[in-house]
Structure 1
Amino acid sequence: MRRIAILGTGMAGFGAAHAAHAAGVRPVMYDMHDHIGGHTASYEFPGGWTFDEGPHVSFTDNTRVQDLLAANVEGKYEAFATKVNNYWKGHWIKHPAQINLHGLPPDLVTKIMMEFVEISQRTEEPTIRNYEDWLRASFGNTFSETFPMEYTVKYHTTTAANMNTEWIGPRLYRPKLEEVFRGALQPKSDDVHYIAGFRYPTHGGFVSYLHPFRKIADIQLDHRVVKIDPKERVIYFANGAKADYDGVVSSIPLPELVPMIAGAPRDVVEAAERLACSEAVIVNLGVDRADLVDAHWSYFYDRDICFARLSTPHLQSPNNVPPGCGSLQAECYYSKKYRPLNQRPEDCIEPVIADLKRCGVLRETDKILFRQAMHIPYANVIFDLESMPATKLVHGYLEDIGIGYCGRYGDWAYIWTDQSFVSGENALQKVLSKV
């Protein structure tokens, strides 16, 4: 029997375990925490409050993964048409803002529309060197500077000029000119968000999708990796344990994984050090009413509002809150490279509450029944201009020494939870083909 080790028990790790099981191999999974789930963990707090480690929903169009996750919760999931909106300087704007300009200041709307007309008449495509160039070429200067460039600084902690364009995919909708005009002249527009609908487990939070996978692997919790010897094929853990392996798949973030590999070349270590990732403080609030925001998540563009995105866990499942209550999850972003977190996570709670009141989400009369802050050391990969060459060098080295990598922080890619599952499957199949 081949000895397969999987480092991490998140969506990608269990994707790898699922592929191993399909190949007739029972892997051993290791996690540094005392619970499974990785970045897709869920936490049940006293009083009936459930919060995920940041917002997670399943919107895959991969029917195989859809069916697999649905079976894991015995078909007990909530299904929704996605509702997303934006907040800017006192205005609530349906998402995406570029086709929902109705009601914004007339001078702003006029400038945006005129620039969209100019773009439509352009005969040559401009040179695209970075994300800022792409935004200006796609939406014009005024819209770009007012909305996505501001959000980039809040969410990615760096400027659009310092980011590449490899990560964009379907995330930013590029409208036809008639859509811009229609959205400026009338209050309603078509739903064009790339997430048309999603599913969410009825009970237990998002991690409920993973629990049935536990039976296909031997799971070792409280095992934090401190060293990997690829020549001897041994993994060492902080608790003194060690494990031999024939093949290994890792979802550990690359900047942490590479320095733990015995004999890693200096240029590879330095490349891993150049990889940037945001960290997040997630402020979770429980409120004594449910009519808070009529959207599953909202984007906030004003820099003087401390959070970049707000989600509503009680709208994902009524079982995430006590009866009659609502919940909010606000995301505040930092990064070691660009915006260091210089305060305790819990210090973000009161500023978030104050800004929610300023935006009208919370009322002065609301009772905050639950408040808590989570610190997420790895939130979103920052696709700055150094990321692509550094990632290529690190991945090449890992392939050379036979270490499989997967998930958002192994692939170092802007992939969603369902894509992470498939990433784990693919990584495991590559490793099995070599052992």
Structure 2
Amino acid sequence: MPDIAILGSGMGGFGAAYRLHAEGITPVMYDKNAYHGGHTASFKDGGFIFDQGPHISFTKDRRIQDLFADSVDQMYETMQVNLNNYWRGYWPQHPVQLHMHGLPEDVIVKAITDFVEERQAPERPIRNYADWLLASFGQTFAELFPMQYTRKYHLTTAENMSTDWLGPRIYRPSLEEVLRGAISPSAPTVHYITHFRYPREGGFMSYLKKFVPLGNMKLNHELVAIDPRKRQLRFSNGVVANYDALVSSLPLPELIRMIQGAPRDVCDAAQRLACSTCVLVNVGVNRDDLSKSHMTYIYDDDLCFTRLNFPHMFSPNNAPAGFGTIQAEVYFSDKYKPLTGSPEDWIEPVIRDLRRMGLIREEDQVVFRDARLLRYANIIFDLERADALKTVHGYLDDLGIAYCGRYGDWGYMWTDESFKSGELAAQKALAALAACAA
């Protein structure tokens, strides 16, 4: 039986364990934390449950739907998603390009005028995300909304981003759809998320429940070095472990840093890979009618957070009866906007801005407050990413180290995509072992 090691115990890691289990192999799974789950983890404190970010399952893949449903014994909520935006005191539905009704008249007129002029103009070359936005929406809408959100969420400019990540994430409307959304408050919503599932008990982490036994879990194992020649792992607690095949869901900059003998160009490429760091501020309030939407996108620079979600709306068991919860995302990046101070420094600014927006009223009692740091949050698809990633992945392929998940593939992955990425990485490891045996 081969010794296959998996680094990390999030969705990607458990996807790999699931695939290996199908071959009768129990991998050893290592995680530096005292808990499993990675960014899929959930935490309970004072009767409140918060996930590590706004996790919901909206996969259309029936196989993954069934796997997750079975993991929670079919105990999940199914909800029609409700998303909105906050822009300069206005609350348009999401996506804004289909719901401009109620915005200032001069903004609507100028946005539609630019939209029409752009559609009539000669086709522009698409060199970056900014070009794509201008071609899709015209200058006024592009600058007021997606370009502004890009600076808050991706922490760089649209001119410095590729279009590799887009997929179905931003909807390009027709003129008829734009006009209908500008004159009617009940324009149809078109979005890649329509419905989602969420575990009834225990937070999003519950979707991993039946996958945990598939691996030999080693918690509190912080990796400090990999010797690819000896196929050996060394941990900060003194443990040294050998492997026949290795699957990693660790962030690529961390993984490359620990590989003994990694070439200078590979190390430099790994450091050019950009991502955001997120401070998650979790708030509990003695009122549950905080929002009609599950998630709100924030555009204003003078509000410290970029996105809000309301966990008590995902499942009533995420908060005590009658209480509501808000999770705010405040973004930073080592490359573009470094975090200074501690995560706890952002609790009061978040609460202050929630009050400014009217989400927390003067008479409301904030009964829970907490801040958590996500060192790796979202991949930033800047113009350096593609070449740097090619160098890093090429080196790992040469070493026979399979990679998976958002931070191993270094991509914009949803939950189901991360799980399937782990399955593919495990298959790659199995194929390499078979080739060696032959």
Unaligned stretches of 5+ in structure 2? 434-438
1:94 aligned counterpart, secondary structure: coil
2:350 partner SS: helix
2:89 corresponds to 1:90: yes
Name the residue aligned to 1:346: 344
Deviation at 1:213, TM superposition (A): 1.0
CA distance in structure 2 between the aligned counterparts of 1:136 and 1:362, rounded to whole angstroms: 36
Does 1:27 pair with 2:44?
Answer: no
Check whether the contact 1:285–1:368 (CA below 8 A) recurs between aligned residues: yes
Which moved further from structure 2: 89-98 or 124-133?
124-133
Distance 1:293 1:381 in 2: 28
3-state SS of 1:433 partner: helix
Shift of 1:128: 1.2
> Is the partner of 1:276 in helix, strand or coil?
coil
Shift of 1:242: 1.1
1:380 Cα offset (Å): 0.3
Query: Offset at 1:129?
Result: 1.2
Match for 1:341: what amino acid?
A: L
Question: How big is each residue's C-alpha offset from its partner over 1:79-121, in whole Å with a ceiling of 9 and x where there is no partner?
Answer: 1111000000000000000111111111110000111111332
1:60 aligns with 2:23: no
Secondary structure in 2 matching 1:277 = coil
Cα shift readout 1:356-404 (whole Å, capped 9, x = no counterpart): 1111111011100100001100000011110110001100110100000
Give the partner amino acid of 1:142. Answer: T
* 1:378 alignment partner in structure 2: 376
Q: Is contact 2:86–2:297 with CA below 8 Å preserved after alignment?
A: yes
4+ residue segments displaced more than 6 Å: none
Name the residue aligned to 2:41: 41
What amino acid sits opposite 1:78 in the alignment? Answer: E
Structure 1: any 5+ residue segments left out of the alignment? none
Alignment equivalent of 1:258, drawn from 243, 256, 273: 256
Counterpart in the other structure of 1:73: 72
From 221, 226, 249, the equivalent of 1:228 is 226
For 1:232 and 1:238, locate their aligned partners in 2 and report how far apart those are by CA, in whole Å. Answer: 18
1:212 is matched with 210
Q: Secondary structure at the match of 2:135?
A: helix
Instruction: Tell me the amino acid that sits aligned with residue 33 of structure 1.
Output: N
Q: Is the 8 A contact 1:99 1:175 kept in 2?
A: yes
For 1:388, the aligned partner's letter is A
Query: Which residue pairs with 1:11 in the alignment?
Result: 11
Question: For 2:276, what is the secondary structure of its paired residue?
Answer: strand
* Residue 117 (1) aligns with residue 116 (2): yes
CA distance in 1 between partners of 2:143 and 2:201 (Å): 41
CA distance in 1, matches of 2:187, 2:426: 44
- Aligned residue type for 1:155: Y
Which residue of 2 is the match for residue 420 of structure 1? Answer: 418
Deviation, 1:246, is 0.5
Q: CA deviation at 1:189?
A: 1.2
Q: CA deviation at 1:237?
A: 0.5
Specify which of 159, 173, 176 is matched with residue 174 of structure 2.
Answer: 176
- Which residue matches 1:238? 236
Q: Quick one: distance in 2 between partners of 1:186 and 1:213?
A: 47
**For the Cα contact (< 8 Å) 1:120–1:177, is it kept in 2?**
no
Equivalent pair of 1:3/1:246 in contact (CA under 8 Å): yes
Number of corresponding residues: 433
Q: Which one-letter code corresponds to 1:13 in the other structure? A: G
1:17-42 Cα offsets, whole Å, 9 max, x none, are 00000111110000000000001100
Contact 2:118 2:134 in 1 (8 A): no
How far apart are the structure 2 equivalents of 1:146 and 1:247?
49
Letter in 2 for 1:20: L
Write the distance in 1 (CA, Å) between the matches of 2:189 and 2:142.
Answer: 21
Give distance in 1, aligned partners of 2:106 and 2:26: 64
Displacement of 1:188: 1.1
Q: What is the distance in 2 between the residues matched to 1:406 and 1:243?
A: 21
Q: CA deviation at 1:344?
A: 1.1
The equivalent of 2:293 in structure 1 is: 295
Determine helix, strand or coil for the equivalent of 1:174. coil
State the 1:267 CA deviation: 0.4
- Please, what TM-score do these two structures have when normalized by structure 1? 0.99
**Which of 189, 192, 201 is the equivalent residue of 2:187?**
189
Distance 1:429 1:76 in 2: 30
**Separation in 1 of the partners of 2:383 and 2:51?**
31
Deviation at 1:130, TM superposition (A): 1.0
What is the alpha-carbon distance in structure 1 between the residues aligned to residue 276 and residue 205 of structure 2?
A: 22
Task: Report the secondary structure of 2:432's partner residue.
Answer: coil
> Contact (CA 8 Å) 2:283, 2:326: kept in 1 or not?
yes
Partners of 2:19 and 2:256 lie apart in 1 by 25
What is the one-letter code of the residue matched to 2:12? A
C-alpha separation in 1, matches of 2:240 and 2:70: 35
Partner SS state of residue 338, structure 2: coil
Q: Could you tell me which residue of structure 1 aligns to residue 436 of structure 2?
A: none
> What is the rounded CA distance, in whole Å, between the counterparts of 1:178 and 1:285 in structure 2?
41
Structure 1 match to 2:150:
152
Give, in angstroms, the shift of residue 262 of structure 1: 1.1
Mapped to 2, the partners of 1:58 and 1:125 lie a distance apart of 37
> 388, 391, 394: which one pairs with 1:393?
391
Structure 2 Cα separation of the partners of residues 322 and 112 of structure 1: 44
Residues 157-189 of structure 1, C-alpha deviation per residue, up to 9 Å, x if partnerless? Answer: 111111111001111110010000000011111
Q: Distance in 2 between matches of 1:91 and 1:321?
A: 28
SS in 2 for 1:298: strand
Cα distance in 2, alignment partners of residues 36 and 344 from structure 1 = 24
Normalised by the length of structure 2, the TM-score is 0.98
